A = this chain, B = another copy of it.
Amino acid sequence: MAQSNPPFMSGVPELLLLRLLNEQEMYGYELGRSIKKVTEDAISLGEGVIYPVLHSLERNGSLKSKRKAVGGRNRVYYSLTKKGRDRLEKLHGDWRRIQGGVATAFGGTANA
């Protein structure tokens, strides 16, 4: 057998969060706006999606966090660990494969 599939559509929120945090540390609320911006409004994630993903990513060691008080605000900044970078690469690879597969399926015989 060739290879087993990753859970399919799973992971876009996780993928994007890891992608952004790989560039620079950020906090949850900020990530929400940032995702809208870097996807040019194509994707927007609610806080109810962002925070749980952040927490589970931290739990499994992909992210580390530190609290900072900035201008009277209490923020939790996240950044990638080595494991997080590995995870990012893996998810990105999965994504490219699926994306490529879908593109091929739709490109094969041109349709509307």
Contacts and interface: CB of A to CB of B under 8 A. Distances in A.
User: How many of these chains are in the complex?
Assistant: 2
Interface residues of A, number: 40
Interface stretch (A8-16, A55-63, A71-79): A8-16
Given A22-B111, A23-B109, A111-B22, A101 B8 contact: no
Interface string A72-93: 0000000000000000010010
- Please classify the interface of chain A as helix (H, G, I), strand (E, B), loop, or mixed, using the class held by over half of its residues: helix
A29 interface: no
Contact of A16 (B12, B23, B102): B102
9 contacts: A5-B43, A7-B9, A8-B9, A8-B13, A16-B102, A16-B105, A38-B104, A39-B105, A92-B106
